[in-house]
Amino acid sequence: MLKKFQYDLFVIGGGAGGLASSKASALLGKKVGMADFATPSPHATTWGTGGTCVNVGCVPTKLMPFSARMGEIRKDQIAAGFSGIDSDGKHNWQQLIETVQKHIKELNVRQESSLKDHGIDYYNKFAKFIDRHTIELTDIKGEKEIISAKNIIVCVGSRPMLYQDPKLVITSEDVFQQTIAPGKTLVIGASYVGLECAGFIHGFGYDTTVLVRTRVMRNFDQEMASKVEGYMSDNGIKFTKRAQLQSIQAIDNGKRRLVKWVRDGVAEEDTYDTVLYGIGRQASTKQLNLESIGVKIDARNYKIIADDYDRTTVDNIYAIGDCCLNRLEYTPIAVMAGRKLAKRLYGDSNEIMDYADVATTIYTPIEYGCIGLSEERALQKYGQDGIKIYRSHFKPLQWGFRKRDDAKYCGGKLIVHKESDRIIGFHYVGPEAAEVTQGFAVAMKMKCTKKDFDNTVPIHPSLAEEMILMK
């Protein structure tokens, strides 16, 4: 006799991948449940439905730099003839946080309403496996209940790595909710997350330094990363490079931090109001009890090992998104992977996720959009004689209202496979990088060539035209 389960599908994790896979499955007629619980950070930061992207990732990460640019635009307004503009007006950090959080909470409500509209049972509870079909759910009061499901998808995402004494630092999760202005800030780590945070904190007028151990944005094209760094440096953000962190301690009755590091063999130190720790992320799988039921996890970063069809080592348990090994950590990828998985499970599809040529944008003070291979990876794959590189340098038309020396950092790069003429790397540094890059992502998915770009009539004047006029 077949065992009857409470749910056809149960999803653990209410982020982008969980929302997409649960809704797609419900639309295909399945009984679906979802559990989502944001364990508070060491500073008691927590949030509602929507996962990292909505609450402490993509959404606030774009709203904060957008808000920071408002201060710079005042200078352009004066040059354009507007009167009554105070170019040195002060910023109210608390008001900014309240505005951003109001928008996020509206998104949380919409997400929960959408789950209800799809007939999905939503549990704001922490989930832990008992066996391959059974899950224990625990609410914030410690009360427990047990549910069962035929299939289970794990998409719990990742959280920032913590310093040895996490109360001494904040992370990218905390900065979007703290209502006290950061003041003089040290960002430890030069990943894209660290640079985004450093960019908007400085944009609101706070002294900001980035502590760099090796390279800035080391997983990205290094020529373009140097443009981002150069722009930020020229605009007042300090970079302390080749620095090895030694210690952080509280001073002034816990109000400030004394940070010590070694650079080129020389001990250095400084004091800060805020230290933001941004050295990487770790999958949120440790407390799910996965290994006890046979799901294999990578010992280094706790990521789940899943195949191309998102199957784990237990045949009814699947995993998608940032908590999986060898997956790009990016919200739209989790969304698409979740929908494709649902259609494979309950529809008539056998299509798997294609992780090649995924477009992304970094919301640093000067934005960076890219698709495909970096120059370093292209050289590694095809060799110097196998590729051809085109570059452009330009000054955005909208930057013409006033004298600016930082336009030298705007530029584009196309990496072309010589034999096929196919564009295998697209890189743009300048304003509105996401809007410029998105359309080209479609072309690259269709395996466009440099000749295709050459035969395209550009929109003029535009930023995007710089990417198709390279000779």
pLDDT average, residue stretch 357-379: 97
Rounded to whole angstroms, the Cα distance separating 254 from 456 reads: 60
pLDDT tens for residues 399-421?
A: 888 778 888 999 999 999 999 99
pLDDT band for position 1 (cuts 50, 70, 90): very low
Query: How much is the pLDDT for 20?
Result: 98
460 catalytically annotated: yes
pLDDT average, residue stretch 65-85: 89
pLDDT tens for residues 154-186?
A: 999 999 999 999 999 999 999 999 999 999 999
Residue 3 confidence (pLDDT) above 50:
yes
pLDDT average, residue stretch 80-100: 90
Residue 5 confidence (pLDDT) above 70:
yes
Strands 266-272 and 256-263: antiparallel
pLDDT band for position 2 (cuts 50, 70, 90): low
Contact 468, 447 (CB under 8 A): no
pLDDT band for position 141 (cuts 50, 70, 90): very high
pLDDT average, residue stretch 55-59: 95
pLDDT average, residue stretch 35-55: 95
Q: Which residues of 278-298 are buried (b: 16+ CB within 10 A; e: fewer)?
A: bbebbbbbeebbbeebebebe
Residue 88 confidence (pLDDT) above 80:
no
Strand ranges (E), 13-115: 32-35
pLDDT average, residue stretch 24-47: 96
- Percent of the chain at pLDDT above 70? 100
- Residues with Cβ within 8 Å of 45's Cβ and at least 6 positions away in sequence, in order, are 56, 173, 174, 177
Query: How much is the pLDDT for 414?
Result: 98
- Residues with Cβ within 8 Å of 434's Cβ and at least 6 positions away in sequence, in order, are 361, 363, 367, 369
Residue 86 confidence (pLDDT) above 90:
no
* Active-site pick, 91, 202, 393, 460: 460
Between helix 58-79 and helix 192-203 the angle, nearest 10°, is: 40
Mean pLDDT in the chain?
Answer: 96
pLDDT tens for residues 302-349?
A: 999 999 999 999 999 999 999 999 999 999 999 999 999 999 999 999
Cis amide prior to 461 (ω within 30 degrees):
yes
Of 110, 104, 119, the closest CA to residue 24 belongs to 119
Query: How much is the pLDDT for 404?
Result: 80
